[in-house]
Amino acid sequence: MTHFNFILICTVFILSIGFIFLYKKMSIRYSILADINHRTLHEFPIPRGGGVVFSILFIVSIFLLFVMEKLPLEIFLVLGIGASIASLTGFIDDIKNLRARIKLIVQILLSCWAIYWLEGGDLLVFDWIPNFIVILLVGFFLVFGMNAYNFMDGIDGMAAAGAIFFSLTLALVLITEGHYDTAFIFLIL
């Protein structure tokens, strides 16, 4: 890991702690609170939408890495632009409770966006599976993953724990495969 990468990870970590405290105060002041209902585990209203802090810091980091020519265009478009749209949609959903159909459409469009820019990924190397089936399966699993994460988001702390576990696991796999620059992105997340 380069000196710059280490500094960026530390900076994002420190900023995330500071901005979470600021966001908590702001969400209480402007009543951006998750009310108690049959699906929640908390016993009193708590701030919601705090994931936007991590999303913004991640997206800013992606933009910075792209400007510094440390990310290829395709990864920037998927993680920078795609994550921006996903984060904005998620934040609006936290505030306004979007209808499930709108969220599903956005998830399908984001999956298509990722598949297009990543050209289907490494799964297209399987010659025995027709490409259109692979693309449909990858799209299905991307939408499934977004829905599963969105479901966990309603359970206090589970989404954050899942994101940390997923990011560290993916970073470790990428490091063992020699993809250090890509692993760095997931360490920022």
Residues 153-189 have pLDDT tens digits of 656 567 777 778 878 888 888 888 887 877 878 888 7
Q: How confident is the model at residue 124, as a pLDDT?
A: 65
The region, left, alpha or beta by phi > 0 then psi within -120 to 50, assigned to residue 48 is beta
CA distance 110 to 78: 9
Q: pTM for the whole thing?
A: 0.79
Q: How confident is the model at residue 75, as a pLDDT?
A: 86
Q: How confident is the model at residue 27, as a pLDDT?
A: 86
Alpha helices in the chain (DSSP H): 3-29, 51-67, 73-75, 83-96, 100-117, 131-152, 158-176, 180-188
CA distance 90 to 52: 8
CA distance 55 to 189: 8
- Reply yes or no on whether the pLDDT at 66 is more than 60: yes
